[in-house]
Structure 1
Amino acid sequence: MSALLDISNAPYRSVWLFKIDLPEDEIDWFSHEIINDDAQIWPLGTALGVQPFPDHDFVEVLDLEALKAYGFSNYLTEGNGLDINDDAQMLDNLAGHILLVFSQGLENGQSKFAPSAPLSFVARYNQPQTTPAHEALESTSAAGELPQGKPAKSDARIGGMVATFVLIFLAVFVALFVWIGG
């Protein structure tokens, strides 16, 4: 059993990475939940050592060979918006299967992971706390304010426009009858 890993002080968007030390043919069995006689059996959840188990929607098991061309570090930074510090090379050198547990899948009462074999803790990464600064736009099209649209027409204005149209129509209609009759 590894050392306890603190969950409670994690920012909203964090991820814990665990290496899964199992043969390829056992990964599918390990990562899927089994419901048996109203009992929940999830080997991966049990190996994490946390109760209740994390929400399945925020747990990923990845085959790092499938991400080799893109890079696992790119997956974490570009795909998930996490700050990996200077660990890009270390992350891209990992092989086999990796488990990602995102903090959104953990309940408030959960305070510590107690991972056991076949899981071994790799690292925890967080979403950056500050947003990146952007340079000011210097093109002429970026200067000034955008033109404001016209406000929506009120019901009274629409009613007045309809009444004006009807009066003009009636005036033309009466003038036409006077001209024909005269």
Structure 2
Amino acid sequence: MTDALHVPRGERGILRVFVADLTLAEMAHMRDPGPTPGAAFSGDDAPQDSHDPMAALLGLDHLDPDFVELFHSDDIAAIGLAAYLAEGNGVAADQIAADQARLDAVQGPLLIVFSAAFAGQPATLRPDPRLTLIGAYAQETPPVRFEPLPDASARGVTDRPAPRPPMSDARAGGMVATAALLVMFALVALVVWIAG
């Protein structure tokens, strides 16, 4: 049996690995529970259709099933559990090294629960006595690297002057009035010159 396990709010990148003492029929039911018995009834006495056997196995009401794996060790016998965690799920090799012999010796049903199964919410897991925690492992997060752009034309031009803001109506009107005054001044000057 495994003691209560606490999942903090916003946890990311952790996976918990359990050995599950389940029969093949129980595994099949966990993967595809079907409708809850009595869900077709209506009225106050009808059972609620909220049965999630995978979540119940961990003492919870709900888990995101997209982030829970339940399979038999025979399914990964060719590579072993240690390699499956490291190569298939991005767990750091140095975390696996200490437990490698124990991980690869595991036989039977395995349950892997990823942090994303809790949707960022805090949770207290109270695993069923049929579950035994093997370990919790952090997935490696590759550092963010910025590669240089391959071609100078892809980089753009940074020394180009900033575009001018669009001309306001008042400015445009002022320019038209100034031009009209200059034209009138030129006409008056021409009339005075011809008359003189």
Question: What is the TM-score normalised by the length of structure 1?
Answer: 0.65
Of 111, 114, 117, the residue aligned with 1:102 is 114
Shift of 1:41: 1.8
Q: Which blocks of at least 5 consecutive residues in structure 2 are unaligned? A: 40-47, 157-196
CA distance in 2, matches of 1:10, 1:3: 22
1:55 aligns with 2:64: yes
The answer for the alignment partner of 2:55 in structure 1 is 45
Change (3 A) 1:146 1:10: closer
Native 8 Å contact 1:50 1:110 kept in 2:
no
Task: Calculate the aligned-residue CA RMSD, in Å.
Answer: 2.7
The amino acid of 2:31's aligned partner reads S
SS at match of 2:153: coil
**Cα displacement (A) at 1:128:** 3.1
Aligned identity (percent) is: 25
Residue 127 in structure 1 maps to residue 139 in structure 2? yes
* CA positional deviation for 1:22: 1.7
Length, aligned pairs only: 139
* Partner Cα distance (1:67, 1:129) in 2: 24
1:79 aligns with 2:91: no
Aligned match of 2:169: none
TM-score normalised by length of structure 2: 0.61
Which runs of 5 or more residues in structure 1 are unaligned? 132-143, 152-182
Deviation (angstroms), 1:67: 0.6
Find the aligned partners of 2:60 and 2:107 in 1 and give their Cα distance: 25
Distance in 2 (alpha carbons) for counterparts of 1:145 and 1:47: 50
How many Å apart are 1:32 and its aligned residue?
A: 2.5
Distance change >3 Å, CA 49–CA 71, structure 1 → 2: same
Counterpart of 2:123 in structure 1 is 111
Structure (1 or 2) with the greater helix fraction: 2
**C-alpha contact 1:48 1:115 (8 A) present in aligned 2:** yes
